[in-house]
Structure 1
Amino acid sequence: MSAALVWAAPLHAEPVDDAEAFAVASRGADVVILGEVHDNPAHHVFQAAAIAALAPTALVFEMLTPEEAALVTPDLAADAGALRAALDWDASGWPDFAMYYPLLAFGEDLPLYGAEVPREDARAAFGAGAAAAFGSDAARFGLDRPLDPEDQATREAEQQEAHCGALPGDILPGFVEAQRLRDAMLAEAALAALEAHGAPVVVITGNGHARRDQGVPALLAIAAEGVSVTTLGQFEAAPDGPVPFDFWTVAEPIDRPDPCAAFR
């Protein structure tokens, strides 16, 4: 069996309040990953401003499958109602389309790439592992190698916390494998966009996938060592302690139902 994957310690992140200042600091990066809390509108406003300032060559979305992204023509991107219908957004499970449309509307001028993992593939990763679900190119992203035991335990604990402590311990490895698959799909799409269009490519995704210590940047470092990456984490309160991003910003939290209520 191949040696376990061990990630480098996360970098010290710098706070940033202005999207243009972030874009200036990110110049020279091949891939810029913009994290988010999915349902916070302010995070999407910051992302849109950062995209405008960065002038990327292409955008990669966690929220679109490759097939959905291929549907987005410039004319469709210009029509919010038609785009919403074409993507069947209301059945997608993602938050309000109005928050994402200013990002998707960049498809009028830019190619869009999708990296969403279909549910059946996520289930396959859950049961058989990320490598089996990803397919023949799994080794390119290190999916054929186990995680370091300490890292594995940390990720399982994070999955348990994200699910309000309600999960049986024996299924936590499956959640970790599904997350690894999602990271690899995003990394693969980012590299495809970079090869086709050049730098910089911007990736729109949740904070978990934007993390340097275990998310998409870590897999890009395996698959394409020479590709430079800048990451942004977006929070609803100032983080306490080390932050595994290059930059971070904070927006006001939104009112939302108790996410743990469903587990009680």
Structure 2
Amino acid sequence: MAGDLDVPPSADVVILGELHDNPIHHENQARAVAAIMPKALVFEMLTPDQAAAATPEARSDAARLEAALRWSDGGWPAFSMYWPIFAAAPDAAVLGAALPRDLVRQSVMDGAVAVFEQTGNDPAQFGLDQPLPEAEQTAREEMQQEAHCNALPPQMLPGMVDAQRLRDAAFANAVARAVETYGTPVVLITGNGHARRDWGVPVYLSAVAPELSTYVLGQFEDAPDADYAEQFDAWIVSAPAEREDPCAVFRS
């Protein structure tokens, strides 16, 4: 469904997907956040330590908040794209869902269960101790390979899937804690791959907090195929962002 963003219906948790470098997607997110007025905003892009720096004083203008969050350290697109989301809900708590990079890298080698335990959480509570169905595991390994320009050694692919599962569980945990602390609604800002209902954050959130209602929006530059589209409560298509070929580095 191409076109403008409709205001999401009422839900305890609203997950707003994105392509990270598409400014239109962040404009849409800001409009949705302004309509929802969440009690808390949870960001994939921030660690808890970074988010703790989003004090009322720091949130008084874009430059001050960018510096306080150490945004440039994260390797994300320009903060100017994300600032309108923060500004759309000035009274909402700002929380970070990201795990430290060293833990994510460790999960590629040691697995999601071992690393999630290090965070003080129970992997079984989130279902991380259960293997994925074979077809899903294969599909996810293929997607990881494609996302990395077919440049990964095959033996690395299971670990990459584990790292994705770890991050999804961590994001769900952050959302659940946000609800406990601040109430509903809570908005999660994250990529489409984490937002999808079949194997993203909603899976892990339903395991740890099944009582919460969720609404999931996907944002794309081309219409998703039918199977993928079904993993979102709504989706929209926007004009593509200008970007360099991400695979060029592997051909140099």
In the other structure, the counterpart of 1:126 is 108
> One-letter code of the match for 2:234?
F
Deviation (angstroms), 1:193: 0.8
Q: Does 1:185 align with 2:167?
A: no
Aligned match for 2:32, one of 20, 28, 50: 50
Aligned match for 1:214, one of 177, 185, 199: 199
2-structure distance, mates of 1:226, 1:108: 27
Runs of 4+ in 1 over 6 A off after TM superposition: none
Aligned match for 1:173, one of 158, 161, 164: 158
Matched residue SS, 2:236? strand
Q: Does 1:67 align with 2:49?
A: yes
2-structure distance, mates of 1:16, 1:232: 13
> One-letter code of the match for 2:207?
I
Q: Which runs of 5+ in 1 are unaligned?
A: 1-14
In the other structure, the counterpart of 1:5 is none
2-structure distance, mates of 1:152, 1:42: 32
Kept in 2, the 8 Å contact 1:34–1:205? The answer is yes
Equivalent pairs, count: 246
In the other structure, the counterpart of 1:35 is 17
Q: Does 1:147 align with 2:132?
A: yes
Deviation (angstroms), 1:107: 6.1
Kept in 1, the 8 Å contact 2:31–2:88? The answer is no
Q: TM-score, normalised by structure 2?
A: 0.94
In the other structure, the counterpart of 1:76 is 58
CA deviations on 1:13-36 (whole Å, 9 max, x unpaired) are: xx37443x332xx21x11110000
Aligned match for 2:218, one of 233, 252, 256: 233
In the other structure, the counterpart of 1:138 is 123
Q: Which runs of 5+ in 2 are unaligned?
A: none
1-structure distance, mates of 2:80, 2:123: 35
Q: Does 1:250 align with 2:237?
A: yes
Kept in 2, the 8 Å contact 1:74–1:107? The answer is no
> One-letter code of the match for 1:228?
S
> One-letter code of the match for 1:205?
T
> One-letter code of the match for 1:95?
P
Kept in 2, the 8 Å contact 1:63–1:116? The answer is yes
Q: TM-score, normalised by structure 1?
A: 0.89
> One-letter code of the match for 1:32?
V
Kept in 2, the 8 Å contact 1:16–1:247? The answer is no
Residue identity over aligned pairs, in percent, reads 54
> One-letter code of the match for 1:140?
Q
> One-letter code of the match for 1:247?
A
> One-letter code of the match for 1:178?
A
2-structure distance, mates of 1:109, 1:223: 27
1-structure distance, mates of 2:3, 2:202: 22
2-structure distance, mates of 1:262, 1:212: 32
Q: Does 1:262 align with 2:249?
A: yes
Using a 3 Å threshold, how does the CA distance of structure 1 residues 81 and 87 change in structure 2: closer, same or farther?
same
